[in-house]
Chain A
C-alpha cells in the first residue's frame, strides 16, 4: 500500500491568490462562502471532479493556487449555472470557474493533451481568425491535437452527420475579417489587467508554477 502525505504547509499557499480572484468583478461574493455545499449538491458534474465545487471555493479563498488551477473541477464545469442561481450567498460560482480557467490557461496549468482547454483555445483561435466557428472542423482539430484514436472512433458520427447535411465541408467566416482584427488589436494593446487594479498580476504564462 502506498501512503501519501496530505498535509498542507503555509508555504504551499500562494498568498494573495484568493484576494486577487475575489477582486475580479463578479467574483467578490466568494468572501461570504459558508461552505454549505449547495453548489456541489446541484452540480451534475460534481461526481466526476477531484475537488467538489465547494472545495474549490475554499481552496481559492485560502490561496491554494496550485491545487485549484490543477484541479479537474474547473474544466468539468459545463456552465449550467445551477450553482450560481441557488447559492445562498449569491456567489457567482460559474463566473469564478471561468476566471480560474482563464488563469489556468494563461499560466499553463493543465495536462498537455487534456481536450477541454485545447477545445477552448482552438475555439478562441478559430473565432478570432475567421469570425465564426464551424463545429465539425473545430472538433476534428481538437481530436487531432489530443487523441487521434478518439478521432478515429468518431468517424461514424461524422459520416452520419454528413449524410444528414449537418457536416459542412466549407469553413464559415465573416466578410470583414480585418475589422474584427482591428478590434481585437485594441484589446491586446490596452492592458485591461492594469485597469482592473491588477487582477491578473502574473500576466501571460509567467509564473514559476508554470506548465507541467
Chain B
C-alpha cells in the first residue's frame, strides 16, 4: 500500500534524523510513501493559541491535498502534526460552522475536504499494518541487551487514544522488543516534555525534560527512544543547561545501591528516534540513519553489541 506522507516542518529542520531514519526503514519493509505536494505547516500548537479557525484552515489544506493525491491514508510522524491534523478532523466534524468556513477557503484553491482520509502515525502503521512478525524477518543485527526507556510523549495518546493505550502505550515497546531490545520499566512514558516552553521559559520547561532524563537513568536505561521531534530535541539538546542547573543532584548509584552519585555525568544518555534503532537492527549504517545528529552519541556497549552481532 502506498501512503501520502506529511513530514511537517521539524522533520526538515531540527528533527531531520527522524525523516532520515523513517524513510529507509519503511523502504526495507516495502511501504511506499509519496510526499504531500506543496504541504504547509500543520497549524501546530503555537498557532492554535492565536487563531484556531485559521489553524484549522492550514491543517485542512493538507488534508484536502492528501485526498486529492488519491492515497487512502496520510502518514504524519511528528506528534504535534499528528494531533493537529486529527484534532482538525474532530473539530470539523463537531462544528458545522467552522466546516463551512473551511470549505469556503478550500474552494479558493480548488480543493475540498470530505474527511475520508485517516491520519496515521508510523507506530500504528508498523504494528497494525506491517506487523511485528514481518518486521522481525528483516532484523539482521538484533540489538540484544540494549536497555531502552520508551518515551511516547503526550500528543499521540492524548486527548485521543486511537491506536494505543492511554495510560500504558505499548506499540513502541513491542516494536523495539521485536528487534532485540529490552524495555526498562518507565513510568513517565506519556509525561509532558515541556513542549516549546524549553525555549520560551527555560525554568519550568527544562525541568520537565530533566525529570524524564533523570528517571530513565535511575531505571537503568542505556538509551531513550522517542517518537516526536520536539520531545527528542528537548531531551537531547539542552543537556548543558540541565547539568548547570541540576547536575549536582544525586541518584542511587546503579552499581552500588547503598551509594549515591551525582546525576550530571549520567545525563549524556543517548536520545534517539525509535526508527533509528529499527534501522540499526535492519543493518543500515549509522550515517544513513542520522545518528551523528544526536548531541550524545550512542554509547559504546550498544554499538559494540551491534558490531559483534554483525561479526
A120: chain B residues at CB < 8 Å are 46-47, 49-50
The docked-state distance in angstroms from the alpha carbon of A47 to that of B205 is 12
A176 within 8 A of B: yes
The answer on a CB contact under 8 Å between A166 and B13 is: yes
- Judged by a CB distance under 8 angstroms, whether A37 is at the interface is no
What's the minimum C-beta distance from A128 to chain B, rounded to whole angstroms?
7
**Interface size band for A:** 35 or more
Sampled A-B contacts (25; CB under 8 Å): A44-B194, A44-B211, A45-B194, A48-B204, A76-B204, A78-B192, A78-B208, A84-B158, A105-B49, A124-B46, A124-B51, A127-B47, A133-B41, A134-B13, A135-B13, A160-B295, A166-B16, A168-B12, A174-B38, A180-B40, A182-B108, A184-B54, A186-B57, A187-B54, A196-B97
A179 touches B14 (CB 8 A): no
* Nearest A-chain residue to B293, judged by Cβ: A164
Q: Would you give the shortest CB distance from B13 to chain A, in whole angstroms?
A: 5
Please report the C-alpha to C-alpha distance between residue A195 and residue B50 in the assembled complex, in whole angstroms.
19
Nearest chain-A residue to B197 (Cβ)?
A: A78
- Set of chain B residues within 8 Å of A33, measured between Cβ atoms: none
**Complex: A47 Cα to B208 Cα, angstroms:** 11
- Chain B residues with Cβ below 8 Å from A179 are 108-109
B9–A133 CB distance below 8 A: yes
The reply on A123 being an interface residue by CB < 8 A is yes
Q: Apart from A85-B158, A172-B12, what 18 extra A-B contacts exist at CB < 8 Å? A: A25-B94, A79-B48, A82-B191, A84-B159, A98-B48, A119-B46, A120-B46, A121-B50, A124-B47, A135-B10, A165-B293, A166-B13, A166-B15, A172-B9, A174-B40, A180-B61, A195-B100, A196-B97
**A184 to B192, Cβ gap below 8 A?**
no
Q: Which residues of chain B come closer than 8 Å to A165, judged between CB atoms? A: 16, 293
How far is B97's CA from A195's CA once the two chains are assembled, in angstroms?
7
A175–B38 contact, CB under 8 A? yes
Which residues in chain B, 81-100, are within 8 Å of chain A measured between CB atoms? 91, 94-95, 97-98, 100
Inter-chain contact B54/A172, CB cutoff 8 Å: no
| Chain B contacts for A80, CB-based, 8 A | 154-155, 158, 191-192, 195
Q: Mark A171-212, 1 if CB is under 8 A from B, else 0.
A: 010111001101111110010100110000000000000000
CB pair A81–B159 under 8 Å, yes or no, is yes
Residue of A nearest to B95 (CB): A25
Q: Which residue of B lies closest to A49 (CB)?
A: B204
Chain B residues close to A by CB (< 8 Å): 9-10, 12-17, 38-41, 43-54, 57-58, 61, 91, 94-95, 97-98, 100-101, 104-106, 108-109, 154-155, 158-159, 161, 166, 191-192, 194-197, 199-201, 203-205, 208, 211, 237-238, 240, 292-295
Do B95 and A132 touch (CB < 8 A)? Answer: no
Alpha-carbon distance between A128 and B61 when the two chains are bound, in angstroms: 13
Q: Is the CB–CB distance between B166 and A183 below 8 Å?
A: no
Min Cβ gap B180→A in Å is 27
Contacts of B166 in A (CB 8 A): 85
Question: Which residue of chain B has the shortest Cβ distance to A47 in the bound complex?
Answer: B204
